[in-house]
Structure formats: structure tokens, C-alpha cells
Structure 1
Amino acid sequence: MSHKKRVDPIRLLWLFAGSLIINTGISFIWPLTTIYIHNYLHETLTVAGIVLFINSAFTMLGNAIGGWLFDNWHPYQTILLGVTTATISTFALVIFHGWPAYPILLVTLGIGNGIVVTGLNSTATLIKSRSTSYVFNALYFTQNLGLVFGSLMVGYILPFGITYIFLLAFIMFFIFNIVVAVEYRNLNQAPRQTFQTTTGTKKKPKLSHNSLLTISSILICVFVSWVAYEQWNSNISSYMLSLHMSVKDYSLLWTLNAILIVFVQPLLTYFDTWLSSHLHGRLYLGFSLFGLAFLLLVGAQHYLIFALSMGLLTIGEIFAFPAVSTFVNDHAPVTEKGKFQGIVQAITSAGRAFGPLIGALIIDYSSFQILFIFCTGIILVSVLGFGIVNKITKKDD
């Protein structure tokens, strides 16, 4: 009886399970940060904003460290380092969650989480049994499913006390630590392509000028989209409350977001072959829908308009965001796949860090309407720039 040769360094099931576990664990903590700092620790909203900004900055650092270590050290040890850092941080949060222990431990958790997320995305580039596009689509699905599970559970567990929230997060990270230790060991055996000169010495392939241009242009789209997206996490809630809508109305929109992702994302995965051959079109459509969603909010007075905007935003997100990782992977040198997945995650973290700050400044000096026009404008201009760069680089090839 012949055994089929195993082509993947780890089973896909464990890559997706890892993404689900880690994102469930992290969603016990991030959504609560502002509420916990302001309502429980009695610090100002400005202080909460600064803590979120610093946390995003250190998550970016984790993304960069994770990408570099994945390429230049050992993939298995890199992910293990990240998840161990996150596990120790959440265990410490169970015991020490006062001020200033809480924001300090958020920093170490951010670094650990940044390393893990980049490690998982970098691992996706080593999978050979399925197309890279399929793997990134499925990873995006499990990531959002984890956020749905975590966010739903927080509402039921928080009344029992914040300690139980941190304990649950620790349990999730601890489970993932065991999964990594047992199932990710073969990562280091994944074939790593090297290039050799005629003299036999190893030589790293250089990123071509065209590839650098195209990757930079798509990363600009990612950054401005996350700056805009963060308005939903921060400033749009205040706008809805000023229109006499409730916090429950606002949170229901995130339920709509989650439902759409959970039901529509698998459809995209089903049509993966066709979408992979139309990757540029998928990115243009996704980011354009994402940008136009904010235009709906200009002059919005009724709840239905906010729901339509969230629906359009989510469809755009489903098309664009998973495709970015595939696009960057296609253009990155084979010896630096981890580094470039780290850059994608770092740019995402940067957009999340600057988004609330940029939005608040625009609202303070003008209005919410100008903010929504600004969000649509920066996204559509970035998509146009991405399209122009693609045309130029194709001509040069």
C-alpha cells in the first residue's frame, strides 16, 4: 500500500484551528480595552486612546520581528516564541490587571500576538496542497469566526468579573501553545528555496523595482482602508449616539458584519480558482466598495443607511483584505515570504493605530460629513494609484 507523500509542513486543519483559537483568545481582550480603562480603571478616554495607539505600535513591532525571524531563524521556534509570550502575558493579566500593570502587559501581549499572526500568515505561504489564495481566504474566515466567538462570549462572562475574561484568554493561548508544540514541529523541515550564483555561493534574490512599486501601492490601499475602518471602531459610535441611536443599535451592526463574513467568505473560497485568475479585479472591486460605503454615511440620519453602509463595507472587506496577502506573496522574493507577510500585518496595525487619531482631528476641526468624504476620497485615490502602477509595471515587464 503506497502512502501519499506529505507536501505540507503542517496539516491545514491545524493552521486554521490555530487561527481560530488565537483570534478567539485575543478578542476577549481588545474590544474591552477602552471600556476597561475608562469604566473600571477610571482613566480618561484620551489615556485609553494613547494605550490603544501604543499597543498597535508594539503589535507592529511584533509583526516585523515575526516576519524577520520566520525567514532568518526557524519558523516553528518563531511561532512558539510568539504564543509563549502571549500566554505568559495573559496569565500575568489574570493576577495583575490594575494600573499600570494592565497597559504594560498589553504591550508584551501585543508583541507576542504580532509575532503569532505574522507566523501563521507566513506558514500559509509554505502550504503546497492548496492555492495560496484558498489558504488566505480560509485563514481570514477562521480569524473572523474567532472574533465572533470571543465577542459573543465576552458579553455573557463579563458580568461575573473581568478576571474571568483574562482567565479565558489565557486558556485559549495555553491551548494554542500545546497545539504549536505538538503539530507545528515540522515547519522547520519545509523546503526553503535558495538561489546560487555560478560560483556556488548562496545569493538572495533581489526584489525587482516593479515588484517594489506594486507591493508599495497595494500597501498604501491597506493603510488608508484601515485608517477609514477604524472610524467604525471609534468615532462612528459617537456619531450614532448623537443621532439618538443606542449602543445596542451600534453593536448590532458588528453582528451584521460578522454574519456576512461567516456566510459570504466561504462562497469566495468556493470560487477561489476563478477569483485567483482575476486577482487585480478582485482588489479593485473590494477596495472601491469599501471606500464607497463611507459615502453612504454623508447625511445619513436613519439606521437603515448605517446598516447598508456596514453591509457594503463588509462585502468590500471580504473581497479585498484576504486577496492582499495573496497579491503580496505572489510578488515577494521566495526567501522573504515571511518578511513581506509581516509588513502586511504591520501596515494593518499602523492603520489601526493612526485611524482614531486622524478621525478625531478631522471631526474636531470640521465635521463627521467631511470625515466620511475624506475616507471615501483617500481609498478611491489609493485604488486609482494602484491601478496606474499596475498598468505602468505591466508595460515595463
Structure 2
Amino acid sequence: MTYDVAAVRSQYPALTSGEAFFDGPAGAQVPRPVVDAVAATLGSPVSNRGPHTAPQRAAEEIVHACREALGDLLAADPRGIVFGRSMTALTYDLSRALARTWEPGDEVVVSRLDHDGNVRPWVQAAEARGVTVRWIDFDPDTAELTPTDLQPVLSDRTRLVAVTAASNVLGTMPDVAALAELSHSVGALVYVDGVHFSAHEAVDVAALGADLFACSPYKFGGPHCGVVAADPALLETLRPDKLVASTDVVPERFELGTLPYELMAGTTAAVDFLASLDPAGTGSRRERVVGAWDAIGTHEDVLRGRIEEHLLERSDITLWSRAKRRTSTLYFSIEGLAPGDVHAELGRRGISVSSGHCYAWEPCHRLGLGPSGAVRVGLAPYTDEQDVHRLLRALPRGD
């Protein structure tokens, strides 16, 4: 069986608007099963967790199912799945907890390729503890970040390396496993921002070498929330701020207040929906997730190739997405046109894209784009040939 994009599109209520959505890197559209799961949970008898009443047991089952689903999505131990408001909020919480283990003279490493959500929390935590911040640079001509870039900034005082699995603007997918191996050789932990990566690739946390892996379900069709996957044994060593009366059990010690059961139910539904897109449709949920991403990746690569060919043919366009291994995300400038103006013009034609720095503060400044950034086009499982045709016809011309 082949990937049936028309059948996939029929599951997304937002597509009935007629809009062509290329803003998935900012947040994907939501399939009907996720919408239904959130609504059903809000309308069902669920109360704060506990083992005694039916509503309490329902809440407990929702939490358990969500951790199991995310475990299958990420090839991670469900007992190490931390659920939170957003990837950024969780990263701030974990940066403060990890910083308690650092001493003056220690070092943390952050990347010029990363979204600011995997930069600023570590920089600020390091500053608060008197810890040195060191930077991994990337090559602005190729958009590549390699182990060779990391090696010079590592030392026996490196306590943590924070790096992205895929740039949210350039699409670059560094060799995270090689970066992690280098980092581990000096005894450092590796915190991986997998927000953009997990919307395009099958994730295997252990294979990546990530000690902590962060992602956001709303990037792959789930609700707005954040997730971090880690070894439960590592989480046991961290002491986050929490209420005296709240549990000290892992992973719950990191989850402040009552969990959003409806969002957890929606996240489970998002993983199940993704698994349903495997053309073969057989095997475990984990196997179907991997099969789905293989099929989606092939579909997106074809469409990306058509867009990329068009952009490269135009002398008024500079394409910044240049890495050999990258997601189906393109970041480009049109000569003489402000990114925001291109964004607005496409919007008037019913085509949603993103523009600006997209919180990729460091990459934009490294490329010399500044805070105005560029135009971002991202593909998603529901993008089809007609969407691409509309985009290419509508792209304005520069000087």
C-alpha cells in the first residue's frame, strides 16, 4: 500500500477552510481523533487522580495510557516520561534542577543552531550558578553542525551539552548520536531538543544518545503541551522545586499541580493517529509509528524537492536550508522584500507560512538575518501537490 494523502487530509477539520497550511513547524493542524479525545475527556466523569472512585480511576488510566503512548512514540521508558505545559517550561524547570548539581568552574555547552528554548534556560541557569557557557557554532554556508564543531568546546568540566536534533528553521539534522558519544566521553549529560525532529522522524531516544529528550505534541498533531523523556534513574537524582505535600515519586515530582487529563488523552490519540498512517498497518504501535514516519518522510521529500527546485531556480531567492540531512522545512529570503510582507501577501492568498526569527534567535543572527529572519515553509503529513502548486504560484517576486 502507498501513502494516501487524500485520506489523511480528510481527517483534519481545519483543511475544510480551504487554507493551504505550510506553518506546521509553528504548530501542526489537529486531526479529528485528537479533537474528539480532548472533548470526550472534558465531558466525561474524570476527577483528580486516585484509586478509589470511577472518575479517579479514569484519570489514572488516562495518565498511564499517555505515558505508554509516548513511550512507543519515542522508544523510551514510560516511567521516565515527564508531562508539562510546554517544552520551554519543562526545560526551564529541568535546567534549574540540574544546575543544583553544578559548581563554579563547571561548563555547559549550547548551540548556535538551536531554538532559544534550548539555549536561554541553560545560559541563565549557568549564570545563576557561576558556570561557564561555551558555544558550538555551525557553518553558515552549509547550515551543518558536526562533531568537529563540538570537540574544541568540550572539557573535563563540561556538565551538560544542549543540542537540537533538527533546526526549527533550517531543518538541519545533526548527527546527534555522534555528538552525544563525544559529550559522554567527558562525562557530560546531553539534553536534546527534539521538538522539530519528532514532527518528521521516528525517534529512538537511546539510539540518539540523549539523556533527556524534549518534544511538543502539538508539532505532530497533538494538543499544546510539552514532554521530556529520560531514564527514570537519572530523574531520581534530580530535586526540582515542588510543594511539600506533592509526591516525590518519579516522574510525578516534576509535574506541578493537577495534570491536564484532556491534553494527555489528546496526546495518546495523536500517537494512535500517527500509527494509523502506516500503509502496512501491522505490528505493534511502535512498529506502526516507525512505518508511518517512513511513509510520511517519502511523501514530504517529494514535495520538498519540488519547492526547493523552484526556489533554487529563482535568482531573487536565497535558500538558507542547505544541510545534506534535513527535514522538509525551507527557510528563504526574497531579495528586496521583508519576510513579514511575504508572509502577509501569502496570507491574503489563503496560504499560511511563518516568517521572522521563529525563536531561532542564534541561527538568525549567525546567518546575518537579525531578528527579522526569513520566510519559513514547512511540510506536514497533510500537505499535498495542490498546496505546493498554490504556494509556488503565489510566491511574490523581489528586485
Asked which structure has the greater RCO (Cα within 8 Å, sep 6+), the reply is 1
Question: Scaled by the length of structure 1, what TM-score is found?
Answer: 0.30
The answer to which structure has the higher strand fraction is 2
